[in-house]
Amino acid sequence: MGLSFWQIAIVVLLFVLLFGRGKISDLMGDVAKGIKSFKKGLSEEDVDVAETETPKVIDQKSETVVSDKNSEKTND
């Protein structure tokens, strides 16, 4: 047995009567803020990972690896 349209409508109506429009809109605003902060946190994590990785350049003449960030040479 599935839920009919009328049963769902009655549950939604009771939900609105119990919590009121103000509380529901506040709740939806809080959910939206949470989603935005979650997405921002994910994008900041990607930027942090990209900043911590130092790009490596191989010097063709001496065949050494040169780090662009620290300008240090290490033998491979």
Pairing assessment for the beta strands 64-67 and 56-59 based on DSSP bridges: antiparallel
- Model pTM score: 0.41
Instruction: Please count the structural domains in the chain.
Output: 1
Which residues, at least 6 apart from 57, have a Cβ–Cβ distance to it below 8 Å?
A: 65, 66, 67, 68
Cβ atoms of residues 59 and 66 within 8 Å:
yes
Q: In what order do the strands lie in the sheet with 56-59?
A: 56-59, 64-67, 73-75
Structural domain containing residue 20: 5-75
Q: What is the pLDDT of residues 11-64, one digit of tens each?
A: 989 988 888 878 878 888 899 999 999 998 888 776 666 666 655 666 566 656
- Measured distance CA(11)–CA(4) in Å, rounded: 11
